[in-house]
A and B are shown apart, each in its own frame.
Chain A
Amino acid sequence: MKIARARRVGQSLGLLLGFFGITGIGMTHLIFPGLHCYACPWAITVCPIGLAQNLVIFGTPPYFWMGMIVAYGLAAGRGFCGWFCPFGTLNDLLSFRKVKIGDALSYSKFVVLAGTILAAWIFADTMFCKLCPAASIEASIPYLIMGVAKVNRPFLVHMGTLAATLAGMVLIARFWCRYLCPMGALLALFNRVSFLKLKLDKHRCSGCAVCTTVCPMGIEPHEQYDNHNCIKCGRCVDTCHLGALSLGFGVKDDK
Chain B
Amino acid sequence: MKWAEACRWCAGVVWFLLAILVAAFSGSAQSSILEFSFDSESLAIPLNGAASVWLRIDNASVYEADAIEIAWLDGPVLLNPVEPIEVLDAFSDGSIPIILSAGSDAALGESEAVFEVSYTYCINDLCFQIIEQMALRLEFIPAVVDPLDVQIVDPVLIPPEAEPSAFPPLFAVILGSCLAGLLVVGNMSGRRWWVTLLLVVVIGVGLGYGILLKQDQQAQSIGAVLCTSCVGIEETPHEPPDLSDNARARVQALTDNTELLLFTAVWCHACPYAKAMVQQVVAVNPLVTVQLIDVDESQNAASQYGIVQSGRTIVPAILRVDTGEVIFGIEDLEARLMSLLEGSP
Binding site for B on A (CB under 8 A): 21, 24-29, 31, 37-39, 41-47, 50-52, 54-68, 70-71, 73-74, 103-104, 107, 110, 113-114, 117-118, 121, 124-126, 129-132, 135, 139-140, 143, 146, 148-150, 152-155, 157-158, 185, 188-190, 192-194, 197, 226, 228, 251-254
Contacts and interface: CB of A to CB of B under 8 A. Distances in A.
A26 B14 contact: no
A130 B213 contact: no
Interface stretch (B112-120, B125-133, B191-199): B191-199
Interface of B: 3-4, 7-8, 10-12, 14-15, 17-18, 21-23, 25-29, 31, 62, 90-91, 124, 167, 169, 171-172, 175-176, 179, 183, 186-187, 189-193, 195-196, 199-200, 202-211, 213, 215-220, 222-224, 226, 228-236, 267, 269, 309-312, 314, 328-329, 331
A110 B15 CA distance: 9
B25 A54 contact: no
Given A37-B231, A70-B199, A154-B235, A148 B329 contact: yes
Nearest to A103: B4
Contacts of A124: 124
B12 A189 contact: yes
Given A60-B29, A70-B206, A190-B183, A129 B11 contact: no
Nearest to B211: A64
A58 B62 contact: yes
A137 to B, nearest CB: 12
19 contacts: A31-B219, A47-B223, A55-B22, A63-B206, A63-B207, A68-B206, A117-B21, A117-B22, A125-B236, A126-B231, A131-B232, A132-B231, A155-B233, A190-B199, A193-B183, A193-B187, A193-B190, A253-B192, A254-B191
Nearest to A226: B190
B11 A228 contact: yes
B27 A59 contact: yes
Contact of B213 (A63, A150, A194): A63
Contacts of A43: 223
A50 B219 CA distance: 10
Contacts of B28: 60
Q: Which of B62, B91, B169, B219 has the most CB of A within 10 A?
A: B219
A8 to B, nearest CB: 27
B319 to A, nearest CB: 14
A41 B311 contact: yes
Contact of B175 (A45, A66, A68, A158): A66
Contact of A193 (B191, B204, B233): B191
